[in-house]
Structure 1
Amino acid sequence: MQTDKEQKKEFRRRVLLYVVSVIVVIVITVIFFFLMIGYRVNPKDGIVQQGGLVQLFSFPSGARVTIGSAELERSTNTKITINPGTYAVQMNKEGFIPWRKDFSVRSGQVIWLNSARLIPKQLQTDTVLTLDGVDDSITSQGSKVMVLLPDKAKPVISVVQLNDDKEVKVKSVNLDGPNFATEGSVQYKLLKLSSDSRRIIMSRTLGKARQVLLVDISDPNQSIILGANENKSYPSEAIFDPRSNGNLIVRYKDGSVYLFDKDRKRLSPKILEKISSMNVNQNILTYVTNVSDGSISTGGYNLDDKINMIFETHRTKQRMLVSLGKYYSDYFLVTTIGNQISIKKTDNLSPASKKISWSTVFDKKLYENVIDTGFQDENQIAYFTQTGFMSSYDLESLSFSNTKLVANTSVARNILWLDKHHFSDDTNGTLRQYEYDGTNQADLAQVSRGQSAGYSTSGKYLYSLSEDKGGRTILQRTKMTLD
Structure 2
Amino acid sequence: MKRRLRNILFSIFVLFFMVLGGYLIFIAQGFVVNLKELRIEKTGAIFLKFAPRDAALSIDGEKTDYTQSGFLESNGLIVKDLVPGSYDLKLSKDGYHDWGKNLEVQSGLITSESHINLWPKTLPAETLIKENVRDFWLTSEGVVHKNGNNRIIFNDLVIRGNDVALSDSDSKILITKEREDYFLVDLKDSRSAVNLTHLFNSLKQRQLALSGTVPITEIFFHPFSPNKIVIASKTSLYTIDVKKVEIDKLVTLDEIKSVALSVSDALILDGNDDLMIINLPLKTSLNERVKMEPAEIFTTNSDGTSVFVLTPAGELKVYRRSPGKTDTLAANVREFEISPEEKRIAVITLGNELKIAYPEEFEGDVKSEAGTIVKIPDAFRGNIRKVSWLADSPNYLMLLEGNDLIVQEIDTRMPANRHLLQSGVLDYETEGKNIYILKVNGELTVSSTAEGV
Identify the residue that residue 400 of structure 2 maps to in structure 1. Answer: 426
CA 342–52 in structure 1, closer or farther in 2 if over 3 Å, else same = farther
Identify the residue that residue 312 of structure 1 maps to in structure 2. Answer: 290
Identify the residue that residue 408 of structure 1 maps to in structure 2. Answer: 383
Answering whether residue 216 of structure 2 is matched by residue 250 of structure 1, we say no
Pairs within 5 Å for 1:28-107? 57-63=49-55, 72-74=70-72, 77-78=75-76, 92-95=91-94, 96-99=96-99
Pairs within 5 Å for 1:63-462? 63=55, 72-74=70-72, 77-78=75-76, 92-95=91-94, 96-99=96-99, 115-125=115-125, 127-131=127-131, 133-139=132-138, 145-151=142-148, 153-154=150-151, 156-158=152-154, 171-175=155-159, 188-205=162-179, 210-221=180-191, 223-227=193-197, 229=201, 231-252=212-233, 254-271=234-251, 273=253, 274-291=255-272, 296-309=273-286, 310=288, 312-314=290-292, 319=296, 321-326=298-303, 331-338=305-312, 339-343=314-318, 345=320, 356-358=322-324, 363-370=328-335, 373=336, 375-384=338-347, 388-394=352-358, 395=360, 396=362, 397-398=367-368, 400-402=373-375, 405-408=380-383, 415-417=387-389, 419=391, 421=394, 422-435=396-409, 440-449=417-426, 451-454=427-430, 459=433, 462=435
Give, in angstroms, the shift of residue 268 of structure 1: 1.7
Give, in angstroms, the shift of residue 281 of structure 1: 2.9
Identify the residue that residue 14 of structure 1 maps to in structure 2. Answer: none
Q: Quote the Cα distance in structure 1 between the aligned partners of 2:283 and 2:86.
A: 47
The CA deviation string for residues 399-423 of structure 1, in whole angstroms up to 9 with x for no partner, is 53445643236xxx65355546454
The CA deviation string for residues 83-128 of structure 1, in whole angstroms up to 9 with x for no partner, is 9x999896724122233568999xxx99996643321234455645
Q: Quote the Cα distance in structure 2 between the aligned partners of 1:265 and 1:139.
A: 26
CA 416–78 in structure 1, closer or farther in 2 if over 3 Å, else same = closer
Number of aligned residue pairs: give it.
375
Q: Quote the Cα distance in structure 2 between the aligned partners of 1:236 and 1:120.
A: 43
Identify the residue that residue 476 of structure 1 maps to in structure 2. Answer: 445
Identical positions, percent: 15
SS for the counterpart of 2:249 is coil
Identify the residue that residue 22 of structure 1 maps to in structure 2. Answer: none
> Is the 8 Å Cα contact of residues 173 and 217 (structure 1) preserved in structure 2?
no
> Is the 8 Å Cα contact of residues 330 and 373 (structure 2) preserved in structure 1?
no
> Is the 8 Å Cα contact of residues 90 and 98 (structure 1) preserved in structure 2?
no
Give, in angstroms, the shift of residue 437 of structure 1: 6.3
Give, in angstroms, the shift of residue 465 of structure 1: 1.9
Q: Quote the Cα distance in structure 2 between the aligned partners of 1:116 and 1:104.
A: 17
Give, in angstroms, the shift of residue 263 of structure 1: 0.7
Give, in angstroms, the shift of residue 380 of structure 1: 2.7
Q: Quote the Cα distance in structure 2 between the aligned partners of 1:303 and 1:103.
A: 48
Q: Quote the Cα distance in structure 2 between the aligned partners of 1:239 and 1:191.
A: 10
Matched AA of 1:475:
L
Give, in angstroms, the shift of residue 226 of structure 1: 1.7
> Is the 8 Å Cα contact of residues 201 and 212 (structure 1) preserved in structure 2?
yes
> Is the 8 Å Cα contact of residues 426 and 447 (structure 1) preserved in structure 2?
no
Give, in angstroms, the shift of residue 64 of structure 1: 5.9
SS for the counterpart of 1:73 is strand
Matched AA of 1:284:
D
Q: Quote the Cα distance in structure 1 between the aligned partners of 2:324 and 2:100.
A: 36
SS for the counterpart of 1:194 is coil
Q: Quote the Cα distance in structure 2 between the aligned partners of 1:86 and 1:299.
A: 54
> Is the 8 Å Cα contact of residues 183 and 196 (structure 2) preserved in structure 1?
yes
Matched AA of 1:393:
A
The CA deviation string for residues 335-357 of structure 1, in whole angstroms up to 9 with x for no partner, is 33232123454xxx6xxxxxx52
SS for the counterpart of 1:243 is coil
Output the TM-score relative to the length of structure 1.
0.62
Give, in angstroms, the shift of residue 313 of structure 1: 0.7
Output the TM-score relative to the length of structure 2.
0.65
CA RMSD of aligned residues (A): 4.6
> Is the 8 Å Cα contact of residues 454 and 463 (structure 1) preserved in structure 2?
yes
The CA deviation string for residues 421-445 of structure 1, in whole angstroms up to 9 with x for no partner, is 4543335222223346695332211
Structure 2 unaligned residues grouped into runs of 5+: 1-28, 205-211
Q: Quote the Cα distance in structure 2 between the aligned partners of 1:112 and 1:248.
A: 44
Matched AA of 2:247:
L
Structure 1 unaligned residues grouped into runs of 5+: 1-39, 159-170, 181-186, 350-355
Matched AA of 1:172:
D
Give, in angstroms, the shift of residue 452 of structure 1: 3.2
The CA deviation string for residues 314-373 of structure 1, in whole angstroms up to 9 with x for no partner, is 4x55635242345xxx9444333232123454xxx6xxxxxx52356x634422344xx5
Q: Quote the Cα distance in structure 1 between the aligned partners of 2:110 and 2:305.
A: 20
Q: Which moved more, 1:261-270 or 1:219-228?
A: 219-228
